[in-house]
Chain A
Amino acid sequence: MARITLDHIRHAYGPAPKSPKDYALREVHHEWNDGGAYALLGPSGCGKTTLLNIISGLLQPSEGRILFDGKDVTYLSTQARNIAQVFQFPVIYDTMTVYDNLAFPLRNRAVPEAEVDRRVREMLEIIDLSGWSKRKAQGLTADQKQKISLGRGLVRNDVNAILFDEPLTVIDPHMKWVLRSQLKRLHKQFGFTMVYVTHDQTEALTFADKVVVMYDGQIVQIGTPAELFERPTHTFVGYFIGSPGMNVMPARVEGSAVVVGGERIALDYSPQIGAGDRAELGIRPEFIRIGREGMPVAVNRIEDIGRRRIVRADFQGQRIAIVASEDAEIPAEPRITFDPAAINIYANSWRVGREA
């Protein structure tokens, strides 16, 4: 298992990129810890699969270096990097038995047959397919096939990292949950470095220690699920994480207060914003209280989603969402208050820190 260093990686699919727009991956410079579980989260086309393929070596970055444990592997082949990858659609060797599928990567590396047998049997136990070893892989269900794909990666116990490219896309919802928890258990047990690409936030948040949110070819935030929720560093993170996403509204900062439309909201700090910057206020629907006190709003619609209700309202000409508990009373002339600690101020879409 290895620490992965991404050293100023940029990638463009076309030749001779000039402007930042030509890059599928604009600039990635980060270090991922040995044994960590990282989820790459972002919408389609944000560059997450490009980044994954650069780590796996299926793609060579246009610029920058990639290091495993401090060793430069940028120009090494996938095989030489010793990584494993699980793809979106289960890749299995149809004509082989389950056993042979798992033995394949070991036999290719000329591991002695006794050792192959020992490790394959162990892996069959781990992925719960012991009874299926003699079966042809062809007739299995999608989740069993995906487990074989995973097993083929894990059976090589010296892999530097295991990469997952939206591996649960074709799995039934109830099996998704089972596989996800199995994966999490395996990660705890073996401590491999794990990079997981997904566009499903629930998947990313439940699975990873650190979620890497990507947007438009760059990493906008790396953080624990709690950090992403409470302190989104970019308005995109606020919008993308959480359901419904963060309310973002144009604002003006005046000292230690922020003005939205005609309302002045006191803050517990003074955000430093440049003169020409576009200022915005972000607050999650969970931190807006609706009641008889505070600033007036016009309620448009109330969605009952079981244990909570989502109130869609107009506030100073902005559409906002408010999460209210099921039994909360919504008066005829409702008013709202913002939890001052949960207010984030953004300058040109990037969060302005409290310390600054």
Chain B
Amino acid sequence: MQKTWNNKAWFLVLPVLVLVAFSAVIPLMTVVNYSVQDTFGNNEFFWAGTDWFLEILHSDRFWEALQRNLFFSFVILALQIPLGIFIALNMPKSGIGVPVCLVLMALPLLIPWNVVGTIWQVFGRVDIGLLGYTLRALGVDYNYVRDPLDAWITIIVMDVWHWTSLVVLLCYAGLVSIPDAYYQAAKIDGASRWSVFRYIQLPKMKRVLLIAVLLRFMDSFMIYTEPFVVTGGGPGNSTTFLSIDLVKMAVGQFDLGPAAAMSIIYFLIILLLSWIFYTVMTSSDANG
């Protein structure tokens, strides 16, 4: 059969290309442009080569922030994924409980991020906050403004409160798609509760779990708004994540070159780690 080669088809891709160019490619190229130049204002630029990249990679500030990011994402995944699966498994499958649970679960997701930060900032305050005041009254020495550990705990609990619902909803969607026959067959085969989870529910949730892990990893690794509102990166630098540091550098100190170089490194790290997650989690499918 003769295929006609029609170059006009490329025009159909054009709208998307324009949109992506303006929303992603051009801004990214601007950042690349900044990262290899130096400026003293006046719109004068000097070629800097890889200087800014080397500077970032040799600064302790960057590596410390990166460590905080990695640790934060690790804790978030370790808490939210099992907790999300656990809640999803215990959600009702039918009846009036379903819409009630779904709405309750969706509520935290509907709140704007800076509002979430403000809620917890007030909630945790020791003078007027319900949480901070109560803990103090119970004799717990809690103060997220002064104690780095308390600040970390506050941010982690806040993030769990904010985002576990997403994992729950994704897992729940995976669970309700399992036909009843699977559970009936498992009953007939004499499977234990654990076997049902291990061999039926977990495999069926695998795809949505992959999405949940990727989303939660990327989001937690890029976290900015909530800790910025609650702790502002403090006390000291204890909750200064890469994103917060980046903003300090770009907007606070106006070091555009290093900030641009750091953005690109940051972006590449997320890309690399997401790719690793994806590859590892889908590889078992391929062997099957």
Residue in chain A with minimal CB distance to B192: A108
Shortest CB-to-CB span from A106 to chain B, Å, is 9
Q: Is B195 an interface residue (CB 8 A)?
A: yes
B199 touches A96 (CB 8 A): yes
Is B179 in contact with chain A by the CB < 8 A criterion?
yes
Whether A136 contacts B288 by the Cβ 8 Å rule is yes
In the complex, the chain B residue whose C-beta lies closest to that of A58 is B184
Task: Flag if B189 contacts A152 (CB, 8 Å).
Answer: yes
CB distance from A196 to the nearest CB of B (A): 16
Evaluate contact between A93 and B200: CB separation under 8 angstroms: yes
Given contacts A91-B181, A138-B288, contact A77 B187 (CB under 8 A): yes
The answer, yes or no, to whether B203 is at the interface (CB within 8 Å) is: yes
What's the Cα separation between A47 and B268 when bound, in Å?
61
CA gap between A95 and B203 in the complex, in Å: 7
Cβ B288 vs Cβ A139 within 8 A? yes
Contact call A104/B189, Cβ cutoff below 8 A: yes
Q: Given A108-B195, A136-B288, A138-B288, is A91 in contact with B185 using a C-beta cutoff of 8 Å?
A: yes
Q: Which residue of B lies closest to A165 (CB)?
A: B181
> What band does the interface of chain B fall in when counting residues whose beta carbon is under 8 Å from A?
10 to 19
Q: Give residues of chain B (189-209) contacting chain A, Cβ–Cβ below 8 Å.
A: 189-192, 195, 199-200, 203-204
Q: How far is the CA of A96 from the CA of B284 in the complex (A)?
A: 12
B187 lies within 8 A of A89 (CB): no
Number of A-B contacts (CB under 8 A): 57
Q: Which residue of A lies closest to B285 (CB)?
A: A138
Report the nearest B residue to A100, measured CB to CB.
Answer: B199
Total residues of chain A contacting the partner, CB 8 A:
26
Given contacts A85-B184, A108-B189, A139-B288, could you give 13 more A-B pairs where the C-beta distance is less than 8 Å? A56-B188, A78-B187, A79-B187, A79-B190, A87-B181, A91-B185, A93-B199, A95-B199, A95-B203, A104-B195, A108-B190, A108-B191, A108-B192
The smallest C-beta distance from B183 to any residue of chain A, in angstroms, reads: 9
- Which residue of chain B lies nearest to A139 when distances are taken between CB atoms in the complex? B288
Known: A77-B187, A105-B189. A89 touches B181 (CB 8 A): yes
- Partner of B182 from the list A91, A108, A138, A139 (CB cut-off 8 Å) is A91
Interface positions of B from 267 to 288, Cβ below 8 Å from A:
287-288
Given A93-B199, A93-B200, the answer on whether A87 and B185 have CB atoms closer than 8 Å is yes
CB-nearest residue of chain B to A136? B288
Nearest Cβ in chain A — how far from B15, in angstroms? 39
Q: A95-B203, A136-B288 are in contact. Are A104 and B191 (CB under 8 A)?
A: yes
* Shortest 10 CB-CB contacts between residues of A and residues of B: A108-B190, A136-B288, A91-B185, A105-B189, A87-B181, A93-B199, A95-B203, A138-B288, A78-B187, A79-B190
Residues in A whose Cβ lies below 8 Å from that of B184: 56, 58, 78, 85, 87, 91
Chain A 96-131, CB within 8 Å of chain B: the 1/0 string?
100000001100110000000000000000000000
A43 and B9 CA atoms in complex are apart in Å by: 51
- Report the minimum CB–CB distance from B237 to chain A (whole Å): 45
Measured between beta carbons, the chain A residues less than 8 angstroms from B195 are 104, 108
Q: Which of A89, A93, A109, A136 contacts B190 (CB 8 A)?
A: A109
- Central interface residue in A79, A95, A153, by most chain B CB within 10 Å: A95
Task: Kindly report which residue of chain B lies nearest to residue A84, judged by CB atoms.
Answer: B188
State in angstroms the CA–CA spacing of A95 and B199 once bound together: 7
Query: Which residues of the other chain, A, contact B204 by a CB distance below 8 angstroms?
Result: 94
A-B contact pairs, 6 of them (CB 8 A): A79-B187, A85-B184, A91-B181, A95-B203, A105-B188, A136-B288
Shortest beta-carbon distance from A248 to chain B in Å: 37
Q: Residues of A contacting B188 with CB < 8 Å?
A: 56, 78-79, 83-85, 105, 153
Verify A94–B187 contact, CB threshold 8 A: no
- Which residue of B is nearest A135, CB measured? B288
Q: Decide if A149 is an interface residue (CB 8 Å cutoff).
A: yes
Q: Which of B179, B187, B188, B192 has the most CB of A within 10 A?
A: B188
Expressed in whole angstroms, the minimum distance between the Cβ of B235 and any Cβ of chain A is 47
Please provide the chain A residues from 294 to 348 with a CB less than 8 Å away from any CB of chain B in the complex. none
Contact between chains at B203 and A94 (CB < 8 Å): yes
Residue of B185, B191, B195, B288 with most partner-chain A CB within 10 A? B185
Nearest opposing residue in chain B for A92, CB measure: B185
**Cβ-based interface call for A88 (8 A):** yes
Q: How far is the CA of A89 from the CA of B199 in the complex (A)?
A: 17
Residues of B within 8 A of A84 (CB): 188
B199: chain A residues at CB < 8 Å are 93, 95-96, 104
Q: Which residues of B contact A152 (CB under 8 A)?
A: 185, 189
Q: How far is the CA of A94 from the CA of B179 in the complex (A)?
A: 14
Task: Provide the residues of chain A in CB contact with B181, threshold 8 Å.
Answer: 87-89, 91
Q: How far is the CB of A85 from chain B (nearest CB, A)?
A: 5
User: Which residues of B157-192 are within 8 A (CB) of A?
Assistant: 179, 181-182, 184-185, 187-192
B194 to chain A, nearest CB (A): 11
Cα separation A138 to B181 with both chains bound (whole Å)? 17
A104 to B195 Cα, complex, angstroms: 10
Nearest A residue to B182 via CB reads: A91
Report A88 CB to chain B, min CB distance, Å: 7
Nearest-Cβ distance from residue A323 to partner chain B, whole angstroms: 40
Given contacts A79-B187, A108-B195, contact A89 B179 (CB under 8 A): yes
B195, closest chain A residue (CB): A108
- Cα A336 to Cα B202 in complex, Å, equals 66
Kindly list chain A residues whose C-beta atoms are within 8 Å of the C-beta of B287: 136
Q: How far is the CB of A329 from chain B (nearest CB, A)?
A: 51
Q: Which residues of B contact A58 (CB under 8 A)?
A: 184, 187
Taking CB atoms, residues of chain B closer than 8 Å to A89 are 179, 181
Closest Cβ of chain B to A77, distance in Å, is: 7
CA distance A152 to B192 in the complex (A): 16
Q: Closest CB-CB distance, B177 to chain A, in whole Å?
A: 13
Check if B288 sits within 8 Å of A105, measured CB to CB. no
